[in-house]
Amino acid sequence: MVLSSIFKKFDDKNGPLLNEVQVSRDKSVNPEDVQDICQSVGWSWREPELIRKALKNSVAVISVWHNGSMVGFARATGDQVFNATIWDMAVRPSYQGQGIGRLVMFEILRHLEDDGIPLVTLYADPGTDGFYRKFGFLSDPSGVRGMFRESLGKD
């Protein structure tokens, strides 16, 4: 088992499952495994080659495995100096509520801290704010709101 020292501080809250999982920082994780866990939480299908490219271009990738299956995942992109943004934080539904999400967040934040990145942002599904607040995330105190532009595709 690979658990960071920061996560071990919360051993009294860890479920027995956490004694059986493996944590990886490997960016070359199989895109089909990423696709599978993302679809398990209801996200849309993505091209495996695009997932592979996204993983390669990420500054941090964390995956949690149990019995050969990916049960937790997150990745971060950024400039590798000033900031990073966490994306694709997912825990397989049958593993939710057992500490896997907390483990993924601790590990990705530790990875970014190890790299000296001071500002970390994320995009959260509605209703998940409380989970992320436990890790120190806040809505922007200055009232700045994210804006989005999605490509219309090529004609």
Residue 99: pLDDT over 90:
yes
- 127 vs 155, more confident: 127
Residue 6: pLDDT over 70:
no
Mean pLDDT of 57-75: 97
Q: Report CA 118 to chain centroid distance, whole Å.
A: 17
Active site residue 132: yes
Apex CA 6: angle with CA 118 and CA 55, to 5°? Answer: 60
Cα separation of 22 and 104, whole Å? 11
Residue 13: pLDDT over 60:
no
Percent of the chain whose predicted confidence (pLDDT) is above 90: 72
Mean pLDDT of 3-17: 49
- pLDDT for the residue 73: 98
Q: 132, 144, 149, 155: which is the annotated catalytic residue?
A: 132
Which domains does the chain carry?
Answer: 5-133 (3.40.630.30)
Structure tokens at 16: 């027995």
- pLDDT for the residue 53: 98
